[in-house]
Structure 1
Amino acid sequence: MPRPTAIRMTNEPPPAGTALFLIGMKVTKPWHLRAWLSVFIAMPRMLRYLQAHPEAGMLSARLCASPDASFSVVSYWRSATDLQRFAADPDAPHLPAWRWFTKIYADRDKVGIWHETYVIGDHEAISSGMPPYGLTAAVGARPIEPGTRTAAGRLRQSTHPRPPTADTQEPG
């Protein structure tokens, strides 16, 4: 596990097309353990698969729990295309789990699920006294410099052009 740093850090500029994927579940009827436990168990299984298969495109992920019986994952991907490719891959664990979920939980009254995908553009990030986390864990950390001491300064730097990736280049 990375060690905390004593200095304030910001992220390296992510390559164009880097995606943030948020996904979660909310237990709405906790007494229906069999209904939501299988959904809960599916996510760590997918994360283990993605950690073992970096070619799938996930850069980093963190599982989070909330006191309201909701759980979420914050993950960073090389691209939204990589994320969508993983989701549709019949040999990866997501598609079979999704098909099972949609078949079994048509009423969706015991557990809810959600997700959001963002292609990272203007952004800012800072951390201090902790290991790289979030975007800094996904794309790398660098020390705060005079131009990145404030959120406004970090946002200004995030608007500088980043090298294109295969997902963001126009077909030739």
Structure 2
Amino acid sequence: MAHVVNGRMTHRHEGELVVFHIGMQINSWWRPDLWMPVFGAMPRMLRELSVEPDSGLLGFHILVGSGGPYVVQYWSSIDKLYAYASNPAQEHRPAWTRFNRLARKAPTAVGIWHETFLVERAESIYVSTKPMGLPKATELVPVGRHHDRAESRFADGRTTAARSDVVA
């Protein structure tokens, strides 16, 4: 189990950063025959991506929303995200085909959704938490003396807080 990191921490990341939210909405709880296959597909995809160092997936968190589970993913490249989504030899394409086949049987039983964000700049703060979010997906670093406030971390102009005054 991860330990609590004492102090004020932020993330550091150089290069492209993509935040991808994907989830399912269970509209007919009494039809597990339709939503369980959708529910079961994501762990296989995350496992496949996590064991491949060049997949582009930096990290993820599984959460539960009002309509069902969703995943926040962090990617190193929009191109790698799209390459994975379209590769018929990997888990996503067959899962998408299965979902479409099931959706034709009962179009409103289960829904899926996603949102993709190409991040120009990102600011983060984590005080006395276990590693999570951007720092867990990228690099966890102490908040430097010139980045004590959110405004100064965001004004850095990059997707990082990686300046000389941030101690690694």
Q: TM-score, normalised by structure 2?
A: 0.88
Q: TM-score, normalised by structure 1?
A: 0.86
User: For the residues of structure 1 that align with 2:107 and 2:78, how far apart are their CA atoms?
Assistant: 27
Cα displacement (A) at 1:71: 0.8
**Runs of at least 5 residues in structure 1 that lack an aligned partner in the other structure:** 163-172
Secondary structure of the structure 2 residue equivalent to 1:102: helix
Report runs of 4+ in structure 1 exceeding 4 Å deviation.
none
1:88 match = 86
2:165 match = none
Cα displacement (A) at 1:149: 1.3
Cα displacement (A) at 1:101: 1.0
After superposing the two structures, state which structure 1 stretch, 105-114 or 31-40, moved more.
Answer: 105-114
Q: How many residues align?
A: 159
Secondary structure of the structure 1 residue equivalent to 2:64: strand
Q: Does 1:122 align with 2:121?
A: yes
1:11 match = 11
1:64 match = 63
1:53 match = 52
Cα displacement (A) at 1:103: 2.4
Cα displacement (A) at 1:73: 0.3
2:163 match = none
User: For the residues of structure 2 that align with 1:161 and 1:73, how far apart are their CA atoms?
Assistant: 21
User: For the residues of structure 2 that align with 1:26 and 1:161, how far apart are their CA atoms?
Assistant: 31
For the aligned residue pairs, the C-alpha RMSD in angstroms reads 1.6
Cα displacement (A) at 1:161: 8.2
User: For the residues of structure 1 that align with 2:153 and 2:53, how far apart are their CA atoms?
Assistant: 29
- Report sequence identity in percent: 33
Summarize deviations over 1:32-87 as a string: whole Å, max 9, x none. Answer: 11110110010111111111112111010111113x34111001011111000011
Q: What amino acid sits opposite 1:105 in the alignment?
A: A
User: For the residues of structure 1 that align with 2:21 and 2:29, how far apart are their CA atoms?
Assistant: 23
Superposed, 1:14-163 pairs within 5 Å as: 14-66=13-65, 68-106=66-104, 107-157=106-156, 159-160=157-158
More strand by share: 2
**Runs of at least 5 residues in structure 2 that lack an aligned partner in the other structure:** 161-168
After superposing the two structures, state which structure 1 stretch, 138-147 or 103-112, moved more.
Answer: 103-112
User: For the residues of structure 1 that align with 2:20 and 2:158, how far apart are their CA atoms?
Assistant: 23
Q: What amino acid sits opposite 1:140 in the alignment?
A: E
Shift in alpha-carbon separation, 1:11–1:79, aligned structure 2, 3 A? same
